[in-house]
Amino acid sequence: MKIVAINGSHKKVGGNTQIILDHLLAGAASKGAAVETIRLSTYDIRPCLACDACQRLEFYACIQDTKDDFLKILETFRSADTIVFATPIYVFHMSSRLRVFFERMYGRGKSNINTYSKTHLFFHDIDHQTLSKPFVSVITASNTEDLTTQSTELFFKTYSAFMDAPQVGSIVRNGWALLHKEIQKEPNKKLAKILADVHFAGRQLATDGFISRKIEKRIRANVLPIPKTVFNILKRFPHTRKKILEKSKQRTSIKPSSLV
């Protein structure tokens, strides 16, 4: 099995998303999978211009393809059996870099040919060999509010339904604002456990072809000092909620510059 991960972070080295990917792919590699990571930040990928040249009958090619690195990435993408789409949350959604990547995929289908997805959604022709590969989504975020990652989680569900691409895993790890100091300085049991679970998820992916709901839930474990349900109920008591959050941030002494 070959797994190709696409990291949408703007960072060229390191980063929270890459930490998750490193553990996931190391787990998969330990079970014999061939793994490769594409950091979009290290490539030149120009945005779709919505010129629709790719949809014109005589052309059917993206005019940006000859000017940037997109085809290089596409070749690696096509060589994969399973894809990992990984992104940090930037302003409540996936990174613009990953978004640009998906928009360039528009050119790989013929939007004037109508068709239906396997789930009976009205859609248009796509290059199934490229776009219908099984995929895992990886999302990282600083915030602990579940709402922060919801639109991106929904995006991947929608992508899966329209593209006939089975989503074989969903890793969501928020709360990096609370986890960050521990990565930098102290050996942290909570983080070590999460990363061990991510490694296990990689092993599962390579052997079973999917990540179990149980392990996804463990990776998503609450990192607040109080149970998530209590934290959510406290929305009705904003003052107390604020105090708890401030206290937990003090405990990890996060400086604004280290939040990402």
Ligand X SMILES: Cc1cc2nc3c(=O)[nH]c(=O)nc-3n(C[C@H](O)[C@H](O)[C@H](O)COP(=O)(O)O)c2cc1C
Binding site for ligand X (CB under 6 A): 9, 11, 15-18, 88-92, 140-143, 148, 176, 260
Cα 106 to the center of its chain, rounded Å: 19
| H-type alpha helices, the chain | 16-30, 70-78, 96-104, 128-131, 147-163, 176-184, 189-208, 213-219, 228-233, 238-251
Partners of 136 in the β-ladder: 84, 169
- Closest contact distance (angstroms) between CB of 245 and ligand X is 13
DSSP-derived pairing of the beta strands 2-7 and 34-39 = parallel
Least distance from ligand X to the Cβ atom of residue 42, Å? 13
Q: How far is the CB of 9 from ligand X (least distance, A)?
A: 3
Least distance (Å) between residue 90 CB and ligand X:
4
Task: Give the total residue count for the chain.
Answer: 260
**For strand 114-116 and strand 122-124, is the pairing parallel, antiparallel, or unpaired?**
antiparallel
| Residue nearer to ligand X on the CB measure, 88 or 169 | 88
Interhelix angle 16-30/189-208, nearest 10 degrees: 50
* Closest to ligand X by CB, 88 or 134: 88
Whose CA is closest to 147, among 177, 174, 176, 168? Answer: 174
Rank residues 38 and 62 by Cβ distance to ligand X and give the closer one. Answer: 38
Contact 27, 200 (CB under 8 A): yes
β-strand 135-140 against 82-88: which pairing, if any?
A: parallel
Report whether 49 contacts 100 (CB < 8 A): no
In the complex, the smallest distance separating the C-beta of residue 142 from ligand X, rounded to whole angstroms, is: 4
In the complex with ligand X, the residue whose CB is nearer, 10 or 110, is 10
Pick the closer one to ligand X by CB: 57 or 147: 147
Question: Cβ closer to ligand X: 11 or 124?
Answer: 11
CB of 78 to ligand X, least distance (A): 25
